[in-house]
Structure 1
Amino acid sequence: MSQQQVEASAATPSTAEGSAEPAPRSPREIRLVMIGLVVAMLLAMLDNLIVGTAMPTIVGDLGGAEHLSWVVTAYTLATAASTPIWGKLGDLYGRKGTFLTSIVIFLLGSALSGLSQSMTQLIAFRAVQGLGAGGLMVGVMSIMGALVPPRDRGKYQGMFAAVMALATIGGPLVGGFITDHLSWHWTFYINLPLGIVALAFIVVTLKLPKVRSNAKIDYIGAVLLTAGITSLVLITTWGGQQYAWGSKQILGLAALAVASLIAFCYVEQRVEEPMLPLGLFRNLNFAMVSLIGFIVGFAMFGAVTFLPLYQQTVQGASATNSGLLLMPMMFGMLVVSLVVGQVVTKTGKYRIFPIIGTAVMVGGSLLLSTLSTDTSRFASSCYMVVLGAGMGFLMQITMLVAQNSVELKDMGVASSTATLFRTIGGSFGVALFGALFNSRVTATMKDLLHGKAAAMGSGGKLTQMSPEALRHQDPTVQDAYHHAVSNGMHTVFLWGALISVVAVAASLFLREVPLRGAGKPSGEQSLEAAAV
């Protein structure tokens, strides 16, 4: 283990970043820092949702429609690949500095993306943006872990659930408004004033001990982990879309992913300061919440991807404000997350919530698997609330348990690992559910239309019928497509429920390890006692 030199002349010994728990902070100090953290998290979550709405306009202006998918893929790849690196850099060289650096890189990428004159430039600058975004989420969570003891963290982490709900609902609305009334360039420029606010609050209000480390960065581990993550994301992005699952491209990426990750595990056991200490997974709680986080990402992104499609095509909902279609699920997640955070803070107990949450998630998936052409909007909304409630029990608790399972010096690695597992889970969820959905829709259409699928006029792509195109089809085709989408939803959520059972089993292995900071005076009391 490398020797870290901690400069904390103005702080008590408990403020050292390698200590067992954060130094006491006043509620006012935490609230001020939280403004910057919340704005930074909003930046990371809003971006893709806002840009997604503007993509048709961007393609019309810049051309290069054949490279459209790379605008999203470049951002996603850079974000996923850089996430664990940002976490480790924060642990080694200080969380404040690395967090501010990630914000600056994100804003630079945003400004350059807005100035893009070609699709190639936009893709390159989106990668720069994604590189910064990888540090935003990790920085928010690890700084929160450094500021607030786990016992008190629940009441603040509920705010992040609110930000997630706001971003999911408001992102498409903001993107549509900007595109219609300003220009697509402002879908990127909007990040600049928000980022400046985040920078200002973090610079002025965040006080953390300075950290200098003599450890050498694990460059080989970073390269191998980046190669493995990149391969996995490309497999889930391209598989079944650009390339067949059995194609040489997908199989080659799979081989590269396996080889890279095996080599990474070999290297990490031999370097002085590993990029991702594998010993963390010997902690049962850390291993189990990583698995649960993967499955939560799996279920959540699958639902977010396919529920709006069902609501627009089968239930006739408007696609204009697509973010509003997910409001019931986000409402359930937000309310439960806020309540759970307060209960954890008051009682210090958390083990029961992952058990309840995973069970409720299974129930919500089973309810959604019953969606049919006759299901009312009220009923489907109630089912979404149940699924959202299950996620609300889990979203913040998984991060809390992961952070409570490591020493404070590894807070960045714990936060980045939890974030990475959720991200990779989401990628796999969209890919697997997409393959299942497409297969079931195609089979149903062929059965119902008796080989007359070409009548759809969609080039034979039976699963890509837009609501607008569907309205111009023969009533027989419309009815067949409604049944096909309903059958596809049944398959997706039935498999989602089955996979969520694994999360239920994992939650039963969690142990009730006391949260650090339990039974201690609050930050405000400690500050008042020390005041002169």
Structure 2
Amino acid sequence: MAHAPAPAPDKPLVVLTKRTIWLIFGALMASMFLSSLDQTIVGTAMPTIVGELHGVAHQGWVITAYILAVAIGMPLYGKFGDLYGRRWPFLVAIGLFTVASAGAALADTMLALVLWRAVQGLGGGGLMILSQSIIADIVPASERGKYMGPLGALFGISAVLGPLLGGWFTEGPGWRWAFWLNVPIGVAAFAIAWFALRLPSHRSSRPVDWAGIVTMATATTGIVLITSWESLADGGYDWSDWRLSGLVVLTLGAVAAFVVAETRAAEPLLPLRLFKNRTFTLSTLIGLVLGMGMFSAMAMLPTFLQMSTGAGITESGWLMLPMMAGMMITSIGSGLAITRTGRYKAFPVVGLVVVGLSMVWLTTLSGDMSMWTFGAMIFALGAGMGLVMQVVVLAVQNAVDPHELGTATSANNFFREIGAAVGSALFTTMFTTRLTDNLQGVFGDVPGGAAESEASLTPEAVQQLPEPFRTGVIDAYAESLAPSFWYLVPLVAVGLVMALFLPVLKLSDVAGMVARGEAVNDESELPGAVPAVSGADDGGSDDGGTAPGADAGAGPRDPHRRTPDTLER
């Protein structure tokens, strides 16, 4: 097993004071917010954007380019962070994201916007992965829940706040402010990270797994393009189209080539031996299942709200706030409970039960239902998700070698992102197919039929339709969306079964950097050490405080390293 080396003997140990940890955590929160917000903020502004930039035919690429770049970037940041240290990759990620946000705000063509969105995604993928990995570096698993909880809540907040802000900017100061918003936050996060993020850098002699990188990027691109095909190509999924069938063959070939490359690489991008770890495998599969269910459920609910209530873009965002509240409460609460008790398995089990029951409840959606009832439904859904999302990441980090925290964290997030892409595509296809059939019954006698009528439907137009067409359209949306949730229930049930078999491991009380011999917990543990946040270097150093005697080798073996056979005491 190859490990990243610890600092050389003349390099300093990082001193993890409480002040250091909270300063770093502030930078991580800001960067995590930036990255997750931009996955959803553009969707509600899209009609206005494509109208101004004359890019209706290419609008799908604005979102797809970002998702694709995020997915490809995740494993790279995770692996390179393990090999070379996380300070500079994190600064690069913030810099890329901030510069690309300004570029997107200034874009005057659709091509320029798509390209800047791809650069944004390259930065955003790093912000997500490195934020979670750095927390694991500086906080032991036994204390990490109270930090991971807010990070998970922030992800949920941004998922709901993104469409709301996107709608507000579009209807107010203009869609470009959806990108300008990132610039001051990104500059502040970069400044905090520059001075607070005193993490060690390494020099690894291990060769870069170029074969793994190329095949992973090719396979990921194929998966994302296939799942986005309906929005990128006219006519939807036409399997007689040689481009689609060829893309499927290329993707399958790239997946097979990636597996072969990883078995031969000296330092694989994603070590396949990680899948021999039951906790890693089950937690990663749970993340994939949750990604498929979570993003599928969230994809169409705002559209249903706009059609059924006549709510505008911004108002439909406000109506999704109960989901955000549920996710915040349980994500933070579960993190605090895990820190207090040291036990985590019950939370994903209970969370998946709640998510499954919420999906069943959502199958009763109707056009005339009370918004209080709808709010209760999505509050329960958000509460269930909040019990699972960050807990499975914590379980993964606690179960792997401290030298592979970034790789394991990125793998878990990568599969969740792939699950989200696949799940959203499948769910949207089922919904739109059923909707077209239902609208045929509403507009069957209208000249032009359902296809023309569906294409011209907007929330405003629906509210102005005469009866019985108005009620018929709203019921068509409800009757198309509600049964679609039944397809997600078995998926969540599979996740629940996997959660039941999740090994119960004792949470480590040693932070990742301490386990690797790169840090000590506070100044009292290392007399004469210079604090990690001090004026000791010029802000460009990777090294933190100074204290001689760091291990020159691979660092000590973590005495608290988790294995699947180590049961919680």
Common fold, TM-score beyond 0.5?
A: yes
How many angstroms apart in 1 are the aligned matches of 2:227 and 2:141? Answer: 34
Given residue 5 of structure 1, which amino acid in structure 2 is its aligned partner? P
**Pair 1:364–1:398, CA change in 2 (3 A):** same
Distance (whole Å) between structure 2 residues aligned to residue 285 and residue 453 of structure 1: 57
Which residue type is aligned with residue 262 of structure 2? E
Taking the aligned partners of 2:448 and 2:370, their CA distance within structure 1 comes to 29
Q: Equivalent of 1:187, from 178, 183, 191?
A: 178
Aligned to 1:218: 209
Q: How big is the shift at 1:11?
A: 7.8
Output the CA distance in 2 between the equivalents of 1:525 and 1:79: 33
SS in 2 for 1:210: coil
The one-letter amino acid of 1:86's match is: Y
- For residue 170 of structure 1, the aligned residue among 158, 161, 169 is 161
Q: CA offset at residue 455 of structure 1?
A: 6.0
Counterpart code for 2:237: A
Confirm or deny: 8 A CA contact 1:304 1:326 kept in the other structure. no
Unaligned runs of 5+ in 1: 16-22
Structure with more relative contact order (C-alpha pairs < 8 Å, separation 6 or more):
2
Work out the CA distance in 1 between the residues paired with 2:459 and 2:388.
Answer: 34
- State how far apart, in whole Å, the 2-side matches of 1:184 and 1:327 are: 22
Partner of residue 257, structure 2: 263
Deviation at 1:146, TM superposition (A): 0.8
1:289 aligns with 2:283: yes
Q: Any residues of structure 2 matched to 1:353-432 within 5 Å, and which?
A: 353-432=347-426
Query: Could you tell me which residue of structure 1 aligns to residue 457 of structure 2?
Result: 465
Match of 2:549 in 1: none
What residue in structure 2 maps to residue 235 of structure 1?
A: 226
Q: 1:41 corresponds to which letter in structure 2?
A: M
Residue 76 of structure 1: which of 54, 62, 67 is its match?
A: 67
Note the C-alpha offset of 1:291: 0.8
Which residue of 33, 37, 40 corresponds with 1:42? 33
Separation (CA, whole Å) in 2 of partners of 1:364 and 1:119:
39
Q: Higher mean Cα deviation, 499-508 or 305-314?
A: 305-314
Separation in structure 2 between the aligned mates of residue 159 and residue 316 of structure 1, nearest angstrom: 34
Counterpart code for 1:435: T
Q: Is residue 3–residue 214 contact of structure 1 (8 Å, CA) maintained in 2?
A: no
Q: Deviations over 1:288-335 (max 9, x none)?
A: 111110111111111111111222212443333332221111111110
- CA deviation map 1:254-287 (0-9, x unaligned): 2111110111001100110001101111101111
1:446 matched to 2:440: yes
Distance 1:416 1:255, change over 3 A: same
Paired letter, 1:97: W
Closer, same or farther: CA 367–527 of 1 in aligned 2, 3 Å: farther
| Structure 2: segments with no counterpart, 5+ residues | 529-569
Q: In the TM superposition, what is the alpha-carbon distance from 1:94 to its structure 2 partner?
A: 0.8
TM-superposed CA distance for 1:249, in Å, is 2.5
Alpha carbons 2:296, 2:423 under 8 Å: kept? yes
Structure 1 residue 173: deviation in Å?
Answer: 4.0
TM alignment of 1:191-206, pairs within 5 A: 191-206=182-197
Cα distance between partner residues in 2 of 1:313 and 1:173: 16
SS at match of 1:370: coil
Matching residue's letter, 1:114: A
Among 466, 472, 489, the residue aligned to 1:480: 472
Go from structure 1 to structure 2 and tell me whether the alpha carbon gap of 1:40 and 1:525 turns closer, same or farther (over 3 Å shift). closer
Change (3 A) 1:526 1:85: closer
SS at match of 2:5: strand
1:107-149 superposed Cα distances (whole Å, 9 cap, x missing partner): 2222222232211122122211111111110111111111111
Is the contact made by 1:8 and 1:209 (CA closer than 8 Å) also made in structure 2?
no
Identity %: 36
Would you say the 8 A contact 2:285–2:415 is kept in 1? yes
| Mapped partners of 1:184, 1:340: distance in 2 | 36
Residue 250 of structure 1 deviates from its aligned partner by 2.4
What is the Cα deviation at residue 185 of structure 1? 3.4
Residue number in structure 2 paired with 1:491: 483
Aligned partner letter, 1:234:
L
Q: Which amino acid aligns with 1:406?
A: V
Residues 284 and 453 of structure 1, relative CA distance in 2, 3 Å threshold: farther
Aligned to 1:90: 81
Q: Counterparts of 1:490 and 1:238 in 2: how far apart (Å)?
A: 24
The equivalent of 1:307 in structure 2 is 301
Match for 1:338: what amino acid?
A: I
TM-score, length basis structure 1: 0.91
